[in-house]
């Protein structure tokens, strides 16, 4: 290999040869001699290996926190939770949802077997407690969430009833005694519910106004329903929102603005010639524009519209449903409370939910700011500050995804909202609210920045779903510091890198994967839940090697002592 201490091949030639090798061959060649070892760790060499192996667009820069291209290649290859290490079979029916405690020491699972199971997350996962909700007339459990200090668990379920019943309930379970502390009605059941503070949770109720018009009321509930103080209400109305064209509010979650300033990933790098991002800020600096016409003008406009209709001057093609929506809009214009204006505060929170305006399938995301004074059940019980003419609350922002939303999740710092959506055909028009457009089999994983209120440019895609609009169900996703994961109807879970926008792993089940969950303290551990009635635990190759590495056996004390005496 050398002549007179000098290498026969110069570094530049070895480098050119190594460019034609794969990553494993480069590393193997680096064991031959010191020269090849040095070349095999060259930054430019691993830059080429990285873009070629992972097929990342060349205009996407290296992760800002990465120290080298070699280490970045190793991170994506070795630190993604893609090795199955345990399968849990304690559920007897489809497993619908998973949620971790904030400490990562426990997680909860919900299932069609109508139990909420709480698990110890150790090196080997074990069942800690199982709560059967059938005695409370539940059909199945569908969602759970730990409160901030991991002392309480919110569990959401669906009532037994007719096939078209939409009623559900939220239960609060103590994690010290596993006692059931309170139960709260929740309608429709796919509002799910969520924690706002450590002891307050949000539920929903639905009131029908017409055939396709309704209003959703979101309630703040005290977790302990036996409060006797006259200064603390058990329940308090947060918002009342009009629903048009058979839409309803579903899937509520809370984003904490105080966490937005944490450093996060550079997500919107990409082709500068790409079309501009959608802006979804519906707020306005003009109070007149937000509040709409004055009530007197609205009443006059509605009177004229009804007079024209009775006189036969309205458009002949206006159906009964279109007429109902037109009247509902006119009525709401002068009876909607505009968003409260407040100075930017890190104490504020965003209430986020799915909704719509054209059809019953959820195609919009509503965002409503929750101010500090609204985060307690103290004060007037029913919507303080609402005038006699203000029936409804206006939303602060709306995102229209032009498709059926089937999943949402927040990044750990709560700044980025990830959305699973099945797109409508381009240019699709909704003529009948009860017949939404057909939806794509491909699932788009969209990303929205809640700090700038803009859509991040690049959508993630790999997973698929097959059910039509009227059978579509929620597929829960989860986001860690570096990765985003989602289930799918194609019997796989998927993991993407948040920065490079690439799919890193497919995790196999025997049936639909409904939910995924990263450990909040260890993103190299992922759980997946499936219709095959199992929960699978996945760890990264690096973690598996560490856990399987032989450890030196400590010498018993008496053996050591005896050897010293000799």
**Edge to edge, what strands does the sheet with 83-88 contain?**
83-88, 535-539, 522-530, 513-519
Output the pLDDT for position 20: 94
Output the pLDDT for position 10: 87
Sequence-ordered list of residues with C-beta below 8 angstroms from that of 169, at least 6 positions apart, any chain:
136, 138, 156, 157, 159, 183, 184, 185, 186, 189
The pair phi, psi for residue 305, each rounded to 5°, is -60, -45
pTM of the model: 0.86
The secondary element (H helix, E strand) that includes residue 353 is: strand 349-355
Q: How far apart are CA 229 and CA 411, in angstroms?
A: 37
**Sign of the C-alpha dihedral computed for residues 458, 460, 466 and 469 taken in this order:** negative
Q: How far apart are CA 143 and CA 155, in angstroms?
A: 6
Spatial CA neighbour of 252 closest among 224, 225, 221, 226: 221
List per-residue pLDDT tens for the chain, 566 residues long.
Answer: 555 556 678 889 999 999 999 999 999 999 999 889 999 999 999 999 999 999 998 989 999 999 999 999 999 999 999 999 999 999 999 999 999 999 999 999 999 999 999 999 999 999 999 999 999 999 999 999 999 999 999 999 999 876 567 899 999 999 999 999 999 999 999 999 999 999 999 999 999 999 999 999 999 999 987 645 444 457 899 999 999 999 999 999 999 988 776 554 555 544 444 444 454 544 333 333 333 334 455 455 555 555 565 555 555 556 888 888 888 888 888 788 888 766 555 568 999 999 999 999 999 999 999 988 888 876 655 444 444 456 899 999 999 999 999 999 999 999 999 999 999 999 999 989 999 999 988 888 999 999 888 888 667 777 777 676 666 678 999 999 999 999 999 999 999 999 998 999 999 999 999 999 999 999 999 999 999 999 999 999 999 999 998 876 655 544 433 444 44
The secondary element (H helix, E strand) that includes residue 539 is: strand 535-539
**Edge to edge, what strands does the sheet with 138-146 contain?**
138-146, 152-159, 168-174, 180-186
The pair phi, psi for residue 106, each rounded to 5°, is -135, 160
| CB count in 10 Å sphere of residue 435 | 13
Output the pLDDT for position 322: 85
Q: How far apart are CA 30 and CA 36, in angstroms?
A: 5
């Amino acid at each position: 290999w050398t002549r007179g201490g000098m290498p026969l091949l110069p570094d530049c030639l070895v480098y050119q040869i190594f460019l034609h090798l794969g990553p494993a061959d480069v590393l193997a060649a680096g064991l031959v001699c010191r020269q090849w070892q040095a070349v095999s760790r060259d930054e430019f060499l691993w830059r080429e290996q990285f873009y070629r192996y992972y097929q990342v667009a060349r205009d996407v820069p290296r992760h800002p926190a990465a120290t080298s291209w070699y280490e970045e290649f190793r991170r994506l290859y070795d630190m993604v939770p893609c090795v199955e290490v345990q399968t849990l079979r304690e559920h007897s029916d489809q497993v619908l949802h998973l949620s971790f405690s904030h400490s990562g020491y426990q997680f909860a699972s919900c299932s069609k077997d109508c139990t909420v199971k709480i698990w110890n997350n150790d090196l080997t996962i074990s069942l800690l407690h199982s709560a059967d909700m059938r005695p409370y007339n539940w059909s199945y459990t569908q969602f759970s969430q730990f409160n901030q200090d991991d002392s309480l668990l919110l569990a959401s379920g669906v009532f037994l009833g007719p096939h078209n019943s939409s009623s559900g309930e939220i239960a609060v379970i103590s994690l010290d005694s596993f006692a059931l502390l309170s139960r709260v009605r929740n309608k429709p059941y796919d509002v799910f519910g969520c924690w706002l503070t450590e002891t307050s949770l949000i539920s929903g109720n639905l009131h029908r106004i017409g055939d396709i018009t309704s209003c959703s009321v979101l309630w703040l509930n005290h977790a302990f329903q036996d409060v006797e103080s006259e200064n603390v209400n058990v329940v308090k109305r947060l918002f009342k929102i009009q629903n048009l064209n058979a839409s309803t509010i579903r899937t509520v979650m809370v984003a904490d603005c105080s966490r937005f300033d944490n450093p996060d990933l550079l997500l919107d790098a990409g082709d500068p010639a790409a079309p501009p991002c959608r802006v979804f800020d519906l707020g306005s600096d003009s109070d007149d524009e937000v509040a709409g016409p004055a009530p007197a003008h609205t009443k006059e406009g509605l009177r004229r519209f009804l007079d024209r209709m009775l006189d036969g001057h309205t458009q002949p093609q206006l159906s009964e449903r279109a007429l109902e929506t037109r009247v509902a809009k006119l009525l709401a214009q002068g009876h909607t409370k505009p968003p409260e204006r407040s100075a930017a505060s890190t104490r504020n929170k965003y209430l986020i939910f799915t909704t719509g305006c054209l059809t019953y399938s959820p195609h919009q995301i509503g965002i409503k700011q929750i101010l500090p004074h609204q985060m307690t059940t103290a004060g007037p019980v029913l919507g303080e500050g609402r005038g006699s003419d203000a029936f409804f609350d206006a939303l602060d922002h709306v995102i229209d995804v032009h498709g059926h939303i089937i999943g949402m999740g927040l990044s750990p710092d709560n700044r980025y909202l990830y959305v699973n959506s099945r797109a409508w055909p381009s240019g699709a028009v909704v003529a009948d609210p009860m017949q939404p457009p057909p939806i794509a089999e491909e699932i788009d994983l969209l990303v929205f920045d809640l700090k700038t209120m803009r859509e991040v440019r690049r959508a993630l895609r790999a997973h698929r779903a097959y059910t039509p609009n009227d059978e579509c169900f929620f597929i829960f996703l989860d986001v860690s510091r570096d990765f985003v994961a989602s289930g799918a109807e194609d019997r796989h879970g998927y993991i993407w890198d948040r920065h490079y926008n690439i799919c890193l792993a497919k995790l196999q089940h025997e049936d639909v994967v409904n939910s995924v969950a990263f450990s909040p303290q260890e993103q190299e551990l992922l759980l997946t839940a499936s219709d095959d009635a199992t929960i699978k635990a996945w760890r990264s190759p690096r973690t598996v090697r560490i856990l399987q590495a032989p450890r030196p056996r400590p010498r018993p004390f008496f053996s050591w002592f005896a050897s010293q005496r000799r």
